[in-house]
Structure 1
Amino acid sequence: MKKRWMLAAVVVWMIIGVGVVNAMKPEPDPDKLWRYITEVSAYDSWGFWGDHVGLQAGGAPHGPFHKVFVNKLGLDSKKPPVRYGTLIVKENYGDEMGRDLKAVTIMYKVKGYNPEAGDWFWVKYSPEGKAEKFGRPQGCIDCHASMVDQDYIMVHGFGAEEE
């Protein structure tokens, strides 16, 4: 009898835990997403993919330099497609010192959001957090579609870390 109560307590705890985690996931909404990555789960505390650490050279349309931060769900995804809930945040810089922040761009994997383009929700923010483009910007989709085999992700080669 005692084991049954313990098992029931564990199941209830797991259900509550899953509910809390799901409730913390931001909606595909630019204002809520900005609050989430700056207040709830500060993106600059996340990690980098091992093959793309720190300030890196970049190119148009993101600028000559960038840093790409990835949440735990993304870092734990070992092959494409990445897990739903993955957040990829790119700081786009105009200088090689990482002082001239031009924009913050995000890819957010949301189940059922946009199946035709990998279920990604895209946002381009000003450095102050004002959404300039968001949702399903055709320019983002068209450019990243060249990496559809990598789940639209351009800065990480899956499997590169294990080699």
Structure 2
Amino acid sequence: MKRVTSVSMVIALLFILVACAPKPALPRADGRDLYNYITGTAQYTGWKMWPGKQALYPGTEPHGMLLTTYVTDGAFSAINGKKGSISNGSIIVKENYMPDKTLAAVTVMYKVKGYDPANNDWFWLKYAPDGTINVQGKAQGCIDCHGQARNNDFIWTSPLK
């Protein structure tokens, strides 16, 4: 009985330590840092998918005919809760596929407080399947297109209100 109690206490202590472990620091507003964070430190493929969307849902240009979108917990909560905007520190990762289901690119929106107030503080990233960064930062093409959804925090996929 004493041994069972000791084992139970050790297991409980391990759960507490894991729960209290600090989360990894968010990356700087930098393409390589963000890429390393989402593909290494945070492994975006383990995140939740966009609420109401499954893998390989129909998309449109310029992103691709099929999309899979992953979001951090903060983004998921804002989207699902219709909070009106995505919270700072949130990341949205969209895998862009060709009709034959070949990954063509990955596009990322990262909300960084104070980064670009005129455009709701979004940092933009696009990279190829091999990790080559094609676009990063205050990407005018991204801003021009997503800016048409300014009243929805630059989000096209679904309403935030």
> TM-score range with shorter-chain normalisation?
0.7 to 0.9
Query: Are 2:29 and 1:28 aligned?
Result: yes
Q: What CA deviation, in whole Å up to 9, does each residue of 1:13-69 have, x standing for no partner?
A: xxxx79x54x61011111111110011111011012322222111111111111110
Contact 1:28–1:110 (8 Å) recurs in 2: yes
Q: Could you tell me which of 146, 156, 159 is aligned with 2:158?
A: 156
Alignment RMSD: 1.7
TM superposition score normalised by structure 2? 0.80
Deviation at 1:150, TM superposition (A): 1.2
Equivalent-residue separation in structure 1 for 2:74 and 2:47 (angstroms):
10
- Percent of matched pairs sharing the same residue: 38
> Residue 48 of structure 2: SS of its match in structure 1?
coil
Structure-1 separation of matches of 2:51 and 2:108: 19
Which position in structure 2 is the counterpart of 1:62?
63
- Residue of structure 2 in register with 1:91 after alignment: 95
Query: CA contact under 8 A between 2:51 and 2:76: conserved in structure 1?
Result: no
> Which has the greater radius of gyration?
2
> CA–CA distance in 1 between the matches of 2:70 and 2:149?
19
What residue in structure 1 maps to residue 11 of structure 2?
none
8 Å Cα contact 2:85-2:160 kept in structure 1:
no
Identify the match of residue 127 of structure 2 among 125, 130, 143.
125
Question: 1:51, 1:157 within 8 Å by CA — same for their partners in 2?
Answer: no
Matched residue count: 139
Q: Write the distance in 2 (CA, Å) between the matches of 1:157 and 1:140.
A: 18
The TM-score with structure 1 as length reference comes to 0.79
Runs of 4+ deviating beyond 3 Å = none
Alpha-carbon distance in structure 2 between the residues aligned to 1:85 and 1:154: 19
Q: State the match for 1:104 in structure 2.
A: 106
